[in-house]
Structure 1
């Protein structure tokens, strides 16, 4: 009868998993447990993230896709560079969320929640969560989003100031 070889089948029970407060965050805001690899290392990684009620990340993006499964609680997610937690969508336990590389997003758990959300996050590192302004494709995406935001702002301001609507001689953006 064979026995499990701990070098070939690695088992970590829940009480053996070490949770650490994410760098730059307050205690009981978000914690991380690295199970395999690392987000900043080359190759696959698997981490657990624990989001406490009342904490949301600021809008950010990663250089590689992130595959997420909500293990417990409800995680709230949204896309785009404009931070508006009220518009985040709930992702209850069992939900799969894919964060597409290079796209702005934010997430967390609202203050009214009764429990933290625990999410398993996997992908291929390094993820480079900081903006890399030297990448032309990402710079183009950011510029396109910024131009669209500016266009919407100009339209709203013109409508408020003039009270007459958008001038016929200026092209109006399509929805």
Structure 2
């Protein structure tokens, strides 16, 4: 058999075998397609401020978690901290972030899609999307729970409309 004929017949055999592959076992490899991700309003936060999709674990319980957070324009979190580090990646839109306990959204750093943010445990920070921006931002957030959120000033609202 010629080398070219052998390669072509091998490729065709592999391609036809792929159609007969066993279905994926979700106990071994779980797949959630983009269109199947369900965002829900954030419990206890102002209507229209944002939504969340919990993909893995729970940030209020011990262990790792992964959530997608969708921030709508015009909303920022109040300065706060968490008990554990958080690792974040902006998936779409632009996120405005800052550190410290003084709320000054005009001084935030813009983090566009593809950008990475690491929040160090027990350091004050805040973030959001200013009013007038056309699209929400979607951020993937990974960390270890429980997060135990702490506000810089518990007498002020946890979310601020800007």
The TM-score bracket by the shorter chain reads 0.7 to 0.9
Look up the match of 1:88. Answer: 108
Matched residue pairs, number?
A: 132
**Residue from 100, 110, 126 that aligns with 1:106:** 126
Query: How far off its partner does 1:38 sit?
Result: 0.7
Gaps of 5+ in 2: 1-20, 153-162
Deviations 1:69-121 (A, max 9, x none): 00000000000000010001100000000000000000000002110000000
Deviations 1:11-36 (A, max 9, x none): 11223222111122222212111000
Look up the match of 1:30. Answer: 50
Write 1 or 2 for the structure with the bigger share of helix: 1
Give the match's secondary structure for 1:15.
helix
1:62 aligns with 2:82: yes
Greater Rg by CA: 2
Please, what TM-score do these two structures have when normalized by structure 2? 0.78
Question: Following superposition, which runs of at least 4 residues in structure 1 exceed 6 angstroms of deviation?
Answer: none
Give the match's secondary structure for 2:106.
helix
Look up the match of 2:138. Answer: 118
- Computed over aligned residues only, the root mean square deviation of the Cα atoms, in angstroms, reads 1.3
Write 1 or 2 for the structure with the bigger share of strand: 2
Give the match's secondary structure for 1:44.
strand
Gaps of 5+ in 1: 132-141, 143-175
